[in-house]
Chains A and B, each alone.
Chain A
Amino acid sequence: MSNIGKSIPEAKWHRLDNTANIFPVVANRNYTSIYRISVILKEEVNPDILQQALDQTLPRFGSFKVRLRHGFFWYYFEANDRPCLVAPEMPNPCSYFVPAQNNHYLFRVTYFKERINLEVFHVITDGTGAVDFLKELVRRYIDIQLFIRDGDPLPDQPVVDVFSDIEDSYLKNFSNKNPKAYSTERAFEIKGEKFPIYTKGIIIGSISIKEIVALCRDKGVTITQYLTAVMIFSIYREYYTGQLHKRPITVSVPVNLRPYFNSTSTMNFFSVIPIVFRVERDDHTFEEILEYTKNQFSEMLTQDYFASKIAYNVSFVKKMYIRFIPLFIKNIFLKISYIRSARANTITLTNIGRFKVPDRYKPFISGIGLLLGASSSEAVKCSVASYERTLNVTFISVLSDTYLQRAFFRKMSEDGLTITIETNGAYYENLH
């Protein structure tokens, strides 16, 4: 045997962050826990340059250059040295992929026409971490392109502050003070006729930032608060007409925790605030819902609130008797608790905010998009992202009807916003 005497290569490893443990357990073909952030360039993407850009970017991002492994008690990440290949975009975005068929990487870089997509399995990082990776990737892409075309030297200054900070900020900011459990009260569930399996309907509404900022300033709310209120109002108007369900409308809004705890982690560090609206009458006005939403936000967007959420989550994994339960048994309990928490949620609305790049790169980028994976347990999801003058609201749905999306965009145009709609074409299929 030729290998005798050679030492076996050793790979670095690190633990999953506190939230990440749930994702490998619940992910399957239906609920994928994959989200996608895309940058739209002004010219068609060149796959060779994209591959070069990825090859140069990936080694610096320790939280992306990993594969997932089973330990006896927990999952863990191990450094992955295989090549990571770019590929053309597949027809159904955010669909499940088996890491083993992706050189064990837990993300994918794909392209379609002018668009570069980063599809990320939530286990490695949240939206903030993914935006940083994508930003650096796109910047490399543009730099290489400029170098080839005009001979511009490649700049060394990265566009992100931190490449790789593998820190479990949940553990770091854990204190045992008044832990707060997640609400498990069942929420109203949006139901309807479904598309064939794996097919999803995507509707993107583009709005001018100027218009929406002026409107929100007028109403004295933030953009996320306004959009959340429009969401609650649309569900209320579309699904509670004449019939008052007992279950509340619950909109989950993910929040980036880094600013609250001064963290630069490149792993997951987010939490979710549930905006629970109880329908009591059949004449709630939009203004009333907006006021309620605003108050809920200011009540929950505090360091104390998040600290007690973290205390609750982390206290579990700190318990010795839980740490020594074999992984496959832990996973059964995780799955049950996930199903309970998913039922407490009507829809997720996430806003990753503004995508900012240095001036050098602005002439080459025309837009940004964010897409979440929808599933039968949460049929519709909504994501918001903005770049320069445009804000995009994207709906992804497994339902073939568009009642919620229609009510949502109609309400916004009633408020005087100009909306431009773009879809993935799934809603036209049955017309042919």
Chain B
Amino acid sequence: MKTCIKCHVRVTDSTDVCPLCKSVLSEPRGPASQNAFPTPEIDSKQYHFLKRLLIFLSVIVGSASLFINFITYDGFLWSLITVAGILYLWAVISHSVANHINVASKILVQSFLGSIFIVLIDYLLGYRGWSVDFVIPSIFSTADVAVVIVILINRMNWRNYMLYQFVIALLGFVPLLLYLINISDNPIFVIISTSLSALSLLGTFIFGDKAVKSELRRRLHF
């Protein structure tokens, strides 16, 4: 058998150098041996050009707008909207475009991040309250309806949408809360969002069978 005189070990690989110290083996032309592993793949092509290009552009656009905003500052921090927009775009790319993520989870994350983005824009534009009055209730009303549509289309998979449906429905009560503490003051949108959320929860309790309820128990076990 092939032997390394320096390491005092035998080598069964089909090679003529010692894998430990790279010395030439004695009897390098010993009996032909089989490799014990598939040939290792050196994966040096793992390179996502598009992703790198997008990162590059994001950093340039973000810092350029911060810089221009800074040298021409007149009391309006518009560059923060650009930066938030870029961050929002990345959240969309990494979460909502990814294939293996649950549709209901995408709806939830989109509504949540979208609401934060909208409030930020409203705030930077001198806060007139349109974000909490109209946009947030509309976002969650739409999300409530969207999740219910997803469930109706694929009812056998209801269990998988359940947790997200619940969180969305609970977030749908946030406009009511904002109304009660006088942050928002448009009752019509609040009523729509609150009742859609309540309907979504009520529907689950009435139409959901044992499986749906046991799903809730496991999702919320603590």
Look across to chain B and name the residue whose beta carbon is closest to the beta carbon of A431.
B17
**A8 CB contact (under 8 Å) in B12, B46, B212:** B212
Considering only residues 412-429 of chain A, those with a C-beta below 8 Å from chain B are 413-414, 418-429
Q: How far is the CA of A198 from the CA of B8 in the complex (A)?
A: 31
Complex Cα gap A100–B158 (Å) = 18
Q: Are A3 and B155 in contact (CB under 8 A)?
A: yes
Segment at the A interface, from B35-43, B55-63, B111-119, B140-148: B35-43
| Residues 1-60 of B contacting A (Cβ, < 8 Å) | 1, 4, 7-13, 15, 17-22, 34-44, 46
Q: Does A245 contact B (CB under 8 A)?
A: no
A73 with B38, Cβ < 8 A, contacts A8-B209, A10-B214, A428-B19 known: no
Among candidates B20, B22, B43, B211, residue contacting A405 with C-beta atoms closer than 8 Å: B20
B155 near A8 with CB under 8 A, answer yes
Q: Are A197 and B19 in contact (CB under 8 A)?
A: no
Q: How far is the CA of A132 from the CA of B140 in the complex (A)?
A: 50
CB atoms of B35 and A425 under 8 A apart: yes
A93 interface residue per 8 A CB criterion: yes
A13 at interface by CB-CB < 8 Å: yes
How many residues belonging to B are interface residues under a CB distance threshold of 8 Å?
Answer: 46
Which of these, A6, A10, A78, A199, contacts B40 with CB under 8 Å?
A199
Say yes or no: is B128 at the interface (Cβ < 8 Å to chain A): no
A427 contact set on B, CB distance < 8 A: 19
Docked pose: A13 CA to B158 CA in angstroms: 16
Partner of B38, one of A1, A90, A198: A90
Q: A74-B221, A91-B39, A405-B20 are in contact. Are A8 and B159 (CB under 8 A)?
A: yes
Considering the chains assembled together, what is the distance between the CA atoms of A423 and B17 in angstroms? 12
Establish whether residues B15 and A428, one from each chain, have CB atoms under 8 Å apart when the complex forms. yes
Q: Is the CB of A91 within 8 A of B41?
A: yes
Question: What residue of chain B has the Cβ atom nearest to residue A76's Cβ?
Answer: B218
B218–A202 CB distance below 8 A? no
Q: Tell me if B42 and A419 are in contact (CB < 8 A).
A: no
Across the interface, which residues of B come within 8 angstroms of A115, CB to CB?
A: 36
The answer to whether B41 and A402 touch across the interface, beta carbons within 8 angstroms, is: no
Asked if A200 is at the interface (CB within 8 A of a chain B CB), the reply is yes
A91 and B152 contact, CB distance less than 8 A: no
- CB contacts under 8 Å to A, within B135-194, are 152, 155-156, 158-159, 163, 167
A15 at interface, CB cutoff 8 A = yes
- Contact A1 B155, beta carbon cutoff 8 Å: yes
Determine the chain B residues whose CB is within 8 A of the CB of A7 once the complex forms.
Answer: 209-211
Contact status A424-B40, CB under 8 Å? yes
Instruction: Please report the C-alpha to C-alpha distance between residue A420 and residue B25 in the assembled complex, in whole angstroms.
Output: 13
CA distance A91 to B35 in the complex (A): 12
A422 to B20 Cα, complex, angstroms: 10
Given contacts A196-B44, A422-B13, A424-B35, 19 further A-B contacts (CB under 8 A): A3-B156, A8-B156, A8-B212, A72-B167, A73-B220, A74-B222, A90-B38, A98-B100, A100-B100, A112-B38, A195-B42, A199-B40, A199-B43, A324-B222, A402-B21, A409-B7, A418-B10, A424-B40, A431-B22
Task: Please report B residues at the A interface, Cβ cutoff 8 Å.
Answer: 1, 4, 7-13, 15, 17-22, 34-44, 46, 100, 152, 155-156, 158-159, 163, 167, 209-212, 214, 218-222
* Interface set of A (CB-CB < 8 Å, partner B): 1, 3-4, 6-10, 13, 15, 69-74, 76, 78, 89-93, 98, 100-101, 112-113, 115, 195-200, 202-205, 323-324, 402, 405-406, 409-410, 413-414, 418-429, 431
22 A-B pairs within 8 Å (CB atoms) are namely A8-B159, A15-B221, A71-B163, A73-B220, A73-B221, A100-B100, A101-B100, A196-B44, A406-B20, A409-B7, A409-B9, A414-B8, A418-B10, A419-B10, A420-B1, A420-B11, A422-B13, A425-B13, A425-B37, A428-B17, A429-B42, A431-B17
